[in-house]
Amino acid sequence: MSDLIFEERKDQIHRKGEGPFKLACNRDSLAGAVSQRACVFCGSRVVLYPIADALHLVHGPIGCAAYTWDIRGALSSGPELHRLSFSTDLQETDVIFGGEKKLYAALVELIDRHQPKAAFVYSTCIVGIIGDDLQAVCKKVSAEKGIPVIPVQSEGFKGNKREGYLAACKAMFTLMGTGDTSDIGPLSLNILGDFNLAGEIWIIREYFERMGITVVANITGDGRVGDIARAHGAALNVVQCSGSTMDLAKMMKEKYGTPFVKVSYFGIEDMAEALYSVARFFKDKDPGILVRTQELVKDELAVLYPKLQAFRKDLEGKKAAIYVGGAFKAFSLIKAFRHLGMSVVIAGSQTGTEEDYEELASICDPGTIIVDDANPLELSAFLKEKDVDIFVGGVKERPIAYKLGVGFCDHNHERKEALEGFVGMYNFALEVHRTVMSPVWKFVPRRTGKILAVEEADLPKECTL
């Protein structure tokens, strides 16, 4: 590549076609490089956050809880306990003498006040350092209050977001096996790795229900403790966002024998394939299911296709960049952009694995920049180099795009638009169209050069001083 921004990171960037594919990943972020990554705590909080009838208590100083207060778009059809931000707000004396007493008192107080079905207690960096015995406190409160009180080992410094996902899966797994499964039928599944952003899980559930399948537990969007407790009774786990919940699916397979399929609900092919893979799984139990699923997909596409064609007329040939949390999402996005006649020229993630990046590279066009754990300097340089029309990412990526005069699509946990399912593909196309086709880009410096004279030489010729 032209000039490396961080020499130390050169093996975390690859241009497809330039040499055999090899990308270093899952490595600690370079100190001082302004990584876009978060921490272990963030990973746990993201996954468990939407369990709406549980108490989520952050044991630590105020920031960790304050910065995660109701920032996500995860909806609930009932209780909304997840939208509150609970903290032990540790103070200096707690750090010196230990925070266990405060944690105990806070838990008792909050459980009495809200009567949750379970409580998750997140440990933060500092708790790991001062060594509070979360297990013991949780066990004691659990016995006293008669609800599961589950410690989540999510000290921020103990790795990156992925470790947080694992901690969350372990925490959820302790709930499983405790609920009554006797009324669960053979055509049943759990939805894993969907967070019900803007009600997306309701779209997906409706598809499954139209296919004749019962959804036992949503994990974790619109999640309920009681459902998770009996999730082991379902016949199948359907895993989206495999980075976050694959660990749980594997644990369930090992202990309960629950098989799983890996899916994505973004874009046309992936959404249809998600439904077909579930239908194939159940076809012996219900021979009519394949036909019903085909009908469903056909009906949805009949509505969607003409609309997409209209967008495509405008978007054909435009270029997109993708930088997301998990690499898996990038696969679907690349395919979705192709439906709009667009190409993806930059693809990266915060926490992709070797496997993820290999798959990513295999579906990318030659010349695509593939990057792990990027930062604003790299991202802005790539956006400029590739002269993209739209960037897909989250809050931290948005100002980078906008500052440079590039369109943007929010595709993260904070979004308030449903992008999953067939209707989600329409919403995605609509959002892409709105941003890419906005007239504002005609005026930005990237397209027009300098707007105002900054030096005398730039002044209009007829100018008389």
Partner 1 sequence: MAKAKAPAENFVSTTNACKLCKPLGATLVFKGIEGGVPFLHGSQGCATYMRRYIISHFREPMDIASSSLGEKQAIYGGGANLKKGLLTVMDKYGAGLIGVATTCLTETIGDDVPGILGEFRREFADLELAPVVNVSTPSYSGSHMEGFTAAVKAVVEQLAQAGEPNDSVGCFPGFVSCADIRHLKDVFASFGIDATILPDYSETLDGPALDDYEKLPSGGTPVASIRALGGAKASFEFGATLPPVGEAGTAAGLLAARFGVPAHRMGLPIGLRASDEFFKALEAVACAPTPRRHALERGRLLDAFVDGHKYISQKRCVIYGEEDLIVGLTSFMAEIGVIPVLVAGGGRSGRLKAAVEAACEGLLPEMPEVREGVDFYDIADRARELAPDFFIGHSKGYRLAREMNVPLIRVGFPIHDRFGGHRLHHLCYLGAQELFDRVVNAMIEKKQTDSDIGYGYI
Considering only residues 51 to 70 of the shown chain, the ones binding partner 1 according to CB under 8 A are 57, 60-70
Interactions with partner 1, residue window 324-383 (CB under 8 A): 376-377, 380-381
Residue closer to partner 1, measured from CB, 164 or 424: 164
Residue closer to partner 1, measured from CB, 44 or 245: 44
Residue closer to partner 1, measured from CB, 62 or 301: 62
Greatest CA span in the chain, whole angstroms? 89
Residue closer to partner 1, measured from CB, 28 or 365: 28
140 binds partner 1 (CB under 8 A): no
One residue of 76, 88, 240, 258 binding partner 1 per CB under 8 A:
88
Cβ of residue 86: shortest distance to partner 1, in angstroms?
Answer: 6
87 binds partner 1 (CB under 8 A): yes
Q: Checking DSSP bridges between strand 319-324 and strand 214-220, what pairing results, if any?
A: unpaired
One residue of 13, 23, 90, 141 binding partner 1 per CB under 8 A:
90
Return left, alpha or beta for 69; rule: phi > 0 is left, psi -120 to 50 is alpha, else beta. beta
Residue closer to partner 1, measured from CB, 363 or 381: 381
Taking contact as CB under 8 A, which single stretch among the options 34-42, 246-254, 279-287, 430-438 is the one that binds partner 1? 34-42
Spacing of C-alpha 52 from chain mean position: 18
42 binds partner 1 (CB under 8 A): yes
Rounded distance between C-alpha atoms, residue 179 and residue 185, angstroms: 15
Residue closer to partner 1, measured from CB, 128 or 267: 128
Structure tokens at 184: 């669960």
Q: Which residues contact 462 (CB under 8 A, 6 or more apart)?
A: none
Q: Specify the DSSP class assigned to residue 414.
A: T
81 binds partner 1 (CB under 8 A): no
- Residue carrying structure tokens 């939208």: 83
Cβ of residue 312: shortest distance to partner 1, in angstroms?
Answer: 29
94 binds partner 1 (CB under 8 A): yes
Q: Which residues contact 175 (CB under 8 A, 6 or more apart)?
A: 118, 148, 150, 225, 228, 229
Stretch (H or E) spanning 192 = strand 188-194
Taking contact as CB under 8 A, which single stretch among the options 150-158, 229-237, 312-320, 363-371 is the one that binds partner 1? 150-158
Cβ of residue 358: shortest distance to partner 1, in angstroms?
Answer: 25
DSSP letters for 19-30: SS-----S-PPP
Taking contact as CB under 8 A, which single stretch among the options 119-127, 177-185, 214-222, 228-236 is the one that binds partner 1? 119-127
Residue closer to partner 1, measured from CB, 367 or 445: 445
109 binds partner 1 (CB under 8 A): yes
Amino acid in position 111 = I
Rounded distance between C-alpha atoms, residue 328 and residue 390, angstroms: 19
Cβ of residue 44: shortest distance to partner 1, in angstroms?
Answer: 11
Residue closer to partner 1, measured from CB, 293 or 349: 349
Rounded distance between C-alpha atoms, residue 402 and residue 407, angstroms: 7
One residue of 10, 11, 34, 253 binding partner 1 per CB under 8 A:
34
Q: Specify the DSSP class assigned to residue 9.
A: G
DSSP letters for 340-360: TT-EEEEEEESS--HHHHHHH
Residue closer to partner 1, measured from CB, 256 or 402: 402
125 binds partner 1 (CB under 8 A): yes
Rounded distance between C-alpha atoms, residue 371 and residue 347, angstroms: 6
128 binds partner 1 (CB under 8 A): yes
Neighbours of 209 (CB within 10 A): 11
Burial of 294 (0-12, 13-18, 19+ CB in 10 A): middle
Rounded distance between C-alpha atoms, residue 225 and residue 56, angstroms: 12
91 binds partner 1 (CB under 8 A): yes
Interactions with partner 1, residue window 395-454 (CB under 8 A): 395-396, 398-400, 402-405, 444-446, 449-450
